[in-house]
Amino acid sequence: MGLPGLIRKNKREILVAIILLILGFFLLIVFNSVPEQRVVLDSTAGQIIDSGVEKTGSPNLVTAILYDYRAFDSLGESTVIYAAVSSIALILSFKTLPISSQGLSFISKRTFSLVTPFVFIFGFYIITHGHLSPGGGFQGGVILAAISIIFCIIYGSAYDYENVSPGSKTLLETGGALLFVFLGILGIIVGGNFFSNFGISPAQSGTLFSSGNILLINLGIGVKVGAGLAIIFYTMIQKTYLEE
């Protein structure tokens, strides 16, 4: 059919591509005029870099912002996850029991049972060392959720349903969220402000227990995010299995 036929057939795609190329040209001009970003000492970021470790005891400044300076924002963030989990569970009803596969082969099951403890330790390490190295509650929680999802794929969701009840995941999620809020209220009692950090020891900066309740907040968020993402996965998988 040749080139004219091709053009006639993909008229929409070609039109969209031309418009997007023009848009890209203008975007390139605009974005190239953005000046290079420098951290000034007087700005908020400059202050955090300058005195963040003394004030929070956390060498990882991103964690210091997330769980100390702006811990209230992290509370809102975990509320977003909570709302997503709740609405997904509301739309795809929770009650239906899955009729699922029997899982993968014997070799996969044995291999996974050997690997799981190490992956679990890795996820827990990411959560608890959030104030020392890259990581934190959200990132480690996703690793814990991945364990749960792979468990469901390899062993089959029927086996999983017998051994890990959905109620325990709900308990973990609400427990993590409640621990988070409880630490905030404890901050009012001890330090005078919502989420004020207490028990920090900047002299020991770099050790596990140097940054007060950032460690505990990380634990709460990690458990909450892991359980929340696992609940999302299970709710979706149950409904799709039921359709077959």
Partner 1 sequence: MIYNIVFILLFLLGLYAILTNRNLVKIIIGVNIMESAVFFWVIAVNSREGVLPILEKGSEIIQVANPLPQALILTGVVIGASTTAFLLTLLIEIDKFANNINLDFLKGLRD
Select 92 or 150, whichever has its Cβ closest to partner 1.
Answer: 92
Q: Which of 96, 133, 168, 193 binds partner 1 (CB under 8 A)?
A: 133
User: Please, what is the minimum distance in Å from the beta carbon of residue 44 to partner 1?
Assistant: 7
**Backbone dihedral angles phi then psi of residue 207, each to the nearest 5 degrees:** -100, 170
Site for partner 1, residues 35 to 74, rule: CB under 8 A: 37, 39, 44-45, 48-50, 52-53, 59-62, 64-66, 70, 73-74
> Is the separation of the CB atoms in 124 and 118 below 8 Å?
no
Select 101 or 205, whichever has its Cβ closest to partner 1.
Answer: 205
Bridge partner list, 205: 207
Bridge partner list, 207: 205
- DSSP, collapsed to helix, strand or coil, labels residue 4 as helix
What single-letter DSSP state applies at residue 204?
G
Residues 146-185: x where in contact with partner 1 by CB under 8 A, - otherwise, as a string: ----------------------------------------
Helix (H) or strand (E) holding 22: helix 11-32
User: Please, what is the minimum distance in Å from the beta carbon of residue 125 to partner 1?
Assistant: 16
Select 36 or 162, whichever has its Cβ closest to partner 1.
Answer: 36
User: Please, what is the minimum distance in Å from the beta carbon of residue 89 to partner 1?
Assistant: 9
Q: What is the chain's alpha carbon radius of gyration, rounded to the nearest angstrom?
A: 24
Sign of CA dihedral 224, 229, 231, 232: positive
Number of residues that bind partner 1 (CB under 8 A): 55
- DSSP, collapsed to helix, strand or coil, labels residue 200 as strand
d(CA 36, CA 16): 32
Q: Which of 7, 99, 208, 236 binds partner 1 (CB under 8 A)?
A: 236
d(CA 103, CA 229): 21
Applying CB under 8 A, which residues contact partner 1? 12-13, 16-17, 20-21, 23-24, 27-28, 31-32, 34, 37, 39, 44-45, 48-50, 52-53, 59-62, 64-66, 70, 73-74, 77, 80-81, 83-84, 87-88, 91-92, 132-134, 138, 205-206, 225, 229, 232, 235-236, 239-240, 243
